[in-house]
A and B are shown apart, each in its own frame.
Chain A
Amino acid sequence: MRPADAAVEPLDAAEAAHLVAAIAEAGDRQAFARLFAFYAPRLKSFLSRQGFGASDCDDLIQDTMLTVWRKAGQFDAEAGAVSTWMFTICRNLGIDRRRRQGRRLKNDLPPMSDIDPSPSAEGEIISRENESRVRRALDQLPSEQAAVISLSFFSQSPQTEIAKSLGIPLGTVKSRVRLAMNRLRQLLDEPS
């Protein structure tokens, strides 16, 4: 049970795609509010697991949502889910921010001149078939393995966190992750 969910209705893939379409076609602020209510708190969970502090999180959530608003017309529901699109946008903005911070650490001044800061993956074509296979595989995965995958995916120090959350020695984490990943891989490869 996740009590924080009570305030926000779950959002299924079809509805999310409609909301993005409504933003693209009519600049629908209600639709934007609904997307924000569902995704912003989850983006925050993603970003804080990535090690971003509170103010970085707030900036990156805003920038992700503003990108959704501006680029809604480029979203192609045939090519993938809204969640994947938003994940990719947020991840790219996070990488971009980290790069700029790294540059400052290294040089003390940020010459933002020469390198295109954002990876191009936003435009990646993911088929619907990809999406539904992944969803099905995640649903079939034992919950402990799903948790291991989520932690190893999102966390900045996955090994320590996995050891803590499963109550297992640090030395055995790698093999747990490998097992979970292999199981996921098998499920992904199974014909539907």
Chain B
Amino acid sequence: MTLSRHPSPELIARYVAGSLSPSAALVVESHLSLCDTCATDHLDMLALGGSLLERLSPSELDARLFERTLARLDEKRPAAAPPAPRSVRDLGIKLPAPIAERATSGWRWMGPGMAYARLDVPEDSRTNLVLLKIAAGRRIPTHGHSGEELTLVLQGAFEDEHGRVAAGDLAEEDDDTHHTPVVTGEETCICLASIEGRLRPHGLIARLISPLIGL
């Protein structure tokens, strides 16, 4: 139901607490990298995390945990391996830093005026991360969600029942929503979306597409 340009405070809180799926966290992180307003909220939420931690009631610890930790104080820390250089396929769009290094499937045809590219998030077993490219004037098939979907617009804009979502904006959809986004303006719209669960498409095209992109 909610469609807002910025992530809701609840979503930033979940991102900060580390409870989002890796794919959803990458979408939020990408928005934060583009949005100064949210950067402040993000810092507030981190400070909130610290304050809440202090106020949590303590749990009982294994009596030997302190000794075991003390015994490890002088351990040498293994040096981190330098990251392997990666060749990243050029998708013809500048990707936000948090996802710029991800391996992708490259653009795949998905229907007239529509293409998708899958981003590789091997650490995520339940959520898909995809880029969608949709030509101006195209209607994205009506769909509902069986889980949470976060969409960050990287280029162009789309509009649906709840309003307009333009470059840099993040839209949150959950399982109570059904929407029919239409790409507005002259520009092709490119979105980054994390999709939890399976899409429940209503239209014929969508039904044809979802097995294609494996959602």
Co-complex (A, B): yes
State A98–B125 Cα separation when bound (angstroms): 10
Answer whether residue B163 sits at the interface, using C-beta atoms and an 8 A cutoff.
Answer: no
Q: Which residues of A contact B16 (CB under 8 A)?
A: 91, 153
Task: Tell me how many residue pairs across A and B have CB atoms closer than 8 Å.
Answer: 191
State A61–B9 Cα separation when bound (angstroms): 27
Q: Which residues of A contact B55 (CB under 8 A)?
A: 138, 150
Let me know if B125 and A66 touch, CB within 8 A.
no
Q: Which of A93-120 contact B (CB under 8 A)?
A: 94-95, 98-100, 102-103, 105-107, 111, 113-116, 119
**B17 in complex: contacting residue of A37, A66, A107, A154, CB < 8 Å:** A154
Let me know if A126 and B47 touch, CB within 8 A.
yes
Let me know if A81 and B123 touch, CB within 8 A.
no
Distance between B80 CB and nearest chain A CB, rounded to angstroms: 8
Let me know if B66 and A88 touch, CB within 8 A.
no
Q: Taking CB as reference atom, which chain B residue is nearest A13?
A: B54
Answer whether residue B105 sits at the interface, using C-beta atoms and an 8 A cutoff.
Answer: no
Q: Which of B1-52 contact A (CB under 8 A)?
A: 8-10, 13-14, 16-19, 22, 25, 29, 43-44, 46-52
Q: Which of B56-64, B177-185, B192-200, B202-210 is near enough to bind chain A?
A: B56-64
State A40–B180 Cα separation when bound (angstroms): 49
Q: Which residues of B contact A42 (CB under 8 A)?
A: 53-54, 56-59
Q: Which residues of B contact A134 (CB under 8 A)?
A: 44, 47-48, 51
**A113 in complex: contacting residue of B17, B47, B84, CB < 8 Å:** B84
Chain B: interface size category:
35 or more
**A133 in complex: contacting residue of B10, B44, B73, CB < 8 Å:** B44
Distance between B2 CB and nearest chain A CB, rounded to angstroms: 9
Distance between B84 CB and nearest chain A CB, rounded to angstroms: 6
Known: A48-B59, A107-B122. A66 touches B73 (CB 8 A): yes
Distance between A104 CB and nearest chain B CB, rounded to angstroms: 9
**Dominant SS among interface residues on chain A:** helix
State A70–B52 Cα separation when bound (angstroms): 24
Known: A36-B66, A41-B58, A45-B56. A87 touches B22 (CB 8 A): no
**B48 in complex: contacting residue of A48, A70, A99, A138, CB < 8 Å:** A138
Answer whether residue B94 sits at the interface, using C-beta atoms and an 8 A cutoff.
Answer: no
Distance between A116 CB and nearest chain B CB, rounded to angstroms: 6
Distance between B19 CB and nearest chain A CB, rounded to angstroms: 6
Apart from A32-B73, A149-B52: 9 A-B pairs, beta carbons within 8 A = A4-B57, A83-B53, A87-B53, A91-B18, A113-B81, A116-B83, A135-B47, A149-B13, A177-B10
24 contacts between A and B (CB under 8 A): A4-B57, A5-B57, A5-B58, A41-B59, A41-B61, A48-B59, A62-B65, A66-B73, A81-B51, A88-B49, A103-B123, A106-B123, A114-B83, A114-B86, A121-B46, A126-B43, A131-B50, A133-B44, A149-B48, A153-B17, A153-B48, A153-B49, A177-B10, A181-B10
